[in-house]
Each structure stands twice: as structure tokens, then as C-alpha cells.
Amino acid sequence: MKSTNGTNHHADIPPDTRKSLPIALLRAREAVMAGFRPVLARHGITEQQWRVLRVLSEIGKPLDASNLAFRASILPPSLTRILKMLSERQMISVIRDRGDGRRVLVQISKGGEDLIREVAPESREIYADLEQRYGEDKVRLLLEMLDDLTTKLSR
Amino acid sequence: MKSTNGTNHHADIPPDTRKSLPIALLRAREAVMAGFRPVLARHGITEQQWRVLRVLSEIGKPLDASNLAFRASILPPSLTRILKMLSERQMISVIRDRGDGRRVLVQISKGGEDLIREVAPESREIYADLEQRYGEDKVRLLLEMLDDLTTKLSR
DNA sequence: TCAATCTTGTTAACATGTTAATCAATAATT
DNA sequence: AATTATTGATTAACATGTTAACAAGATTGA
């Protein structure tokens, strides 16, 4: 039994924060977003709103809220609030499903598409800089490992 | 120029969410925390409060708020609120620095240490299960890559 | 058919994230 | 010493995360 940092006299209970996967993921995400957030902020949009718009743009057709929430990795209660915002700002259109009165169908509108076209160049620039700093192949490998981890833990 | 998902007719603007590092990091973190959160919830504590307690326990001596915020990866405004909670629940003690009246010194107290001892076994169990599912060596490699990424982007 | 159940989305309540403004204490400058 | 600038922490304001409860529409089964 050995202590890894010299200051924790509880031995290995718990592992120190440098070896914590949740914290490492949080910090990495924070470091990545530090480059992106200013770009989005300049366009008056949050990271989550951006994710919603991107998913809708990729899909290209009306999507119900549950599916949208899943694809954008946003919880339903948050999505409800975000849809209200984006709808007021004319970036999306929200209508009730004719066949199933519970469902809400969301579609990107012209305002949203315009915003995406505005932000995309800057976004790609940031991402290119990231790949250049960290290594294009390492980014690919990291993505693969993260996806693998997510898959293996979701069962 | 090729489309990667068949539905995005904006070509490569922007890369689809499956290849997005921020989202991959978010999902991975979410998958990891899904196992961990119930444990903390059973003990009536949030993930961030747990991080604060762990850092204080590892350090083992009074720490000023700025340092604590940095080590726990929590922003100062959030930390202020968290310290108030933990202090009311007798998990930490907060005093002003004698030498520098601006600083606040935080130290874990008996209640906090007790909680850590309670949660630690379950925590290790979850982490062990994670390592077993994903692979011990892959966890190490992933931690290393994340740390590398964070470092390279923070300059 | 109709009551029980399930599903979808929303609301509620509280905690944290995020940025900007503020306040008090210290340090720096003249 | 008095003024100014900087620093550390807090407060404010708004957006999201998180869990639980809820409401309304759809399904099921007796």
C-alpha cells in the first residue's frame, strides 16, 4: 500500500483527484470549450442552444423532443426551456404532432440556418487549431476511446 | 468532399455531433457519473460537494478558496454556495485568514471525514467495476490522453 | 367501453455553471 | 500618508443540470 501524493494519509481512500476519470473528463471538456465559448458568446448563443441547432440542422427534418434531447445530450426539462428561447428568437419552429397529441415536433428555421452558417467557419477554425495542437490522429483515437467507454458503461 | 451521415446536406459544416470532442467528453462523463451519482445521492450529497470534500481531505490542512476552487474544478461563485452548504452541515470549517483579511481558509472537519469514510468503499467499488468493464490499462491511457489534451490546450 | 397503465412533455424546486458587477482588503504608486 | 490599482471573495442575474411530481394524450386489457 503506497500513497501517491504524499499528503493523503488515508492511504488509497479515495484515489486522488488527478486519477479521477470524472474530473479528468470535466477538465478536458472545460479546456476544449474555453476555445469555443467566446465564439458562441459573440453570436449571443449558449453551448446547449448551439447543440440543439446543430442536431436539427444535421437531421434536416422535424424531430420530436425526446429524440432531440437524446441526440443533443440534453435532459428534457432543459430542452423545454431551450426550445422556448430558440422559438422566441425565430431560430426554430415548434408544432404539435397531428398523429400523436403528446409529441412536439421541432424543426430548424431560416434564422437558425443563418446562424449556423455564420458560426460554422469560426467553429471549424477553433477545431482545426485543436487538432493541430493535440494531433489529428490523437483526436481520432480519443474520440474512439470515449465512444467505447460510453458504450461499455451504458449496459 | 463527402458527407459522413447522409442526412447533413451542409457538407462538412459543421462536423456532425458524433465526431465532436466536446459532446463525446460530455457523454463519457455522463456515462461514468451515472454509476456514481446514486451513491452520492444516497448520502445526501452532490457530485461537486463530494469533490470539495475529497480535495480538502487529500490536502489535509486549511486551504484558501481560490486554491480549493482550482483543485476541485469549480468556479468561485459556485464554491461560495457550496461552502455555505457544507459549513451548515458541519462537514467543513471556514475561517478568515489572520494575515490576509480577504482570504477564506477552509478545512475539512470530523463530519466531513466521517462522510468520506462512509462513501469511500462504495466509491471504490464503482470505480473498480468501471475498470473491469473498460480495462484497467485503457483507463490509464485515457487519463493520460485527457491530461495531455488539457495541458496542451491551456496555453 | 372504460378504467388502469404507459408515454411524452412540462412544471417545480433546488444546485451548479457562467459572466459581470461589486465590496473589502491589500499592495503599489506617488 | 493618501490615492490608486490589484486581488480574493461574494453577490447578482440568467441558463442549465438534476430529480421528482404532474398533466394530458395514447394504449392496453378486462
Q: Is the pLDDT of residue B27 over 60?
A: yes
- B30/A26 Cβ within 8 A: no
Q: How far is the CA of A78 from the C1' of C11 (A)?
A: 11
Q: Does A136 touch chain B (CB under 8 A)?
A: no
Q: How far is the CA of A2 from the C1' of C23 (A)?
A: 46
> Binning pLDDT at 50, 70 and 90, where does residue A14 land?
very low
Q: CA-to-CA distance for A137 and A140, rounded, in angstroms?
A: 5
Mean pLDDT over each residue of chain B, to the nearest integer = 90
Q: CA-to-CA distance for B73 and A30, rounded, in angstroms?
A: 9
Please give the pLDDT value at position B43. Answer: 96
Q: CA-to-CA distance for A123 and A125, rounded, in angstroms?
A: 5
Q: Encode pLDDT of B96-124 as tens digits.
A: 999 999 999 999 999 999 999 999 999 99
Q: Is the pLDDT of residue A8 over 60?
A: no
Q: Encode pLDDT of A80-126 as tens digits.
A: 999 999 999 999 999 999 999 999 999 999 999 999 999 999 999 99
For chain B positions 69-98, those within 8 Å of chain A (CB to CB) are: 71-73
Answer for A51: CB within 7 Å of strand C: no
Q: CA-to-CA distance for A28 and A20, rounded, in angstroms?
A: 12
Mean pLDDT value of segment B122-136: 94
Nucleotides of C under 7 A from a protein CB: 7-13, 15-20, 24-27
Q: Encode pLDDT of B49-101 as tens digits.
A: 999 999 999 999 999 999 999 999 999 999 999 999 999 999 999 999 999 99
